Amino acid sequence: MWWGRENTHMGWYFEKRYCQRILLGKGKRKMKILLISLKRNFANVAAASGRPWKDITVAAIREVSQGEKRVAITPQAAESLIKKGIRVVIERGAGVSASFNDDLYQKVGVNVVDKDTAYQSDIIFKVRVPTLEECAKFRPKSTLLSFIYPAQNKNVIDELAKRELTVFGMDCVPRISRAQVYDVLSSMANISGYKAVIEAANHFGRFFTGQITAAGRVPPAKILVIGGGVAGLSSIGTAKGMGAIVRGFDTRSAVKEQVESLGAEFLEIQIKEEGEGIGGYAKEMSKEFIEKEMELFSQQCKEVDIIISTALIPGKPAPRLITKEMIATMKPGSVIVDLAAEAGGNIETTRPGQCYTNSNGVIHIGYTDLPSRLPTQSSPKEQFNVDLNDEVVRGTIVLHQGRMMWPPPVISSPPPSPTLAKKIEEKAVVEVPLSPLQQTFKSAAIYTAGNLNFS
């Protein structure tokens, strides 16, 4: 179960003023973390005895997905929770792959426990979607914070609902400015975009940047990035910083300015169709648009050295953008990185989870665990207080005490203030009278212009 004002028999609730934003990592890139602060509810002590903070247990369990190296709670995050009086446990060896051994957790006061004990905690943090076997281990009416992807994992949701869990999908955070601090999905996409360029550079046979040496001229690498979301912009910025010629494409016209601000060329087609969908994501395009889009990609495949594709549509398979016929026209030694591999891939020849070279010499990278390949950077997670009236929290919650809460209601943008619009209009029509000096200059300019001879 989750702890809210309506659950007075448990005697707990969350208050916004107890949330703190913690910046982790001295000398490293700082990750924003919003840690849960629990406060005992004394409002209904007569009805039920509340539980003190020290009786609340938060746990991070070891990930079982193949190749997953991340851990949901770092020692720094655990230390912040412990200072609030919350008991934190971690499954033995859960952080080893992320370079956080058990000793680091024990030094800050975390109890290292076995798997069964960790699963009996009040709140459990995970990274990957739980398997059906893991679902059976969760304590009934407990709380889970994890990536969930409810549209693709209905069997997992049904199993968790049977156990009356409250589930928060960290992939469901709404795309609004106020929610950016909680947006784990964007954080992981940023890491994926960076790592995609690093993987491409590792497999590419020459420099990204152009060079002129005594031995001759080395042309810069040409890179096409498909998709201008968080991952795409991260790839563009990283590749441009390494000296490559970068081209970007997106169906949303609003992305053009962002791509060009990073120094890349924005590719466009001659059909005016807006690709902006709900929540800032791209939508499915018309048949005519897709045909022109495919013509563009076909031409680009003949020119570029590296393609990084990031196009995704929420709740649906990834759109197929690059065909095997296009791949056949690419130069030997070219590299493609498909960040949509886990959702089926944007490239027809992608093999999810694999890296291979086809018969034409084109290197295919279809890794589905790029954030996990930077586990120390990508392990810290964002957590937040629970208030179902909060649009960010409401957009993230998938199950509440076993009751389906997804999909959330659509968040509508507030209309512009009529008072402000009226003030701007009034301000625009106000004429400021000229000063005597300005009137003199104006008269002099008129007389001078009248005496000019342009013949």
Active site residues: 175, 180, 183, 186, 281
Bond into 220 cis (ω within 30): no
Q: Which residues pair with 399 in a beta bridge?
A: 167, 404
What gap in Å lies between CA 78 and CA 109, rounded to an integer? 8
Spatial neighbors of 120 by CB under 8 A, at least 6 apart, are 57, 139
What gap in Å lies between CA 301 and CA 322, rounded to an integer? 9
Inter-CA distances, 191 with 102, 146, 147, Å: 25, 18, 16
The torsion of the CA quartet 180, 316, 389, 43, rounded to 10 degrees, works out to -100
Angle (CA) 69-137-103 rounded to 5° is 40
What gap in Å lies between CA 320 and CA 327, rounded to an integer? 13
State the sign of the Cα–Cα–Cα–Cα dihedral 187, 189, 191, 194: negative
381 contacts 125 by C-beta, under 8 angstroms: yes
Q: Is 314 left (phi over 0), alpha (psi -120 to 50) or beta?
A: beta
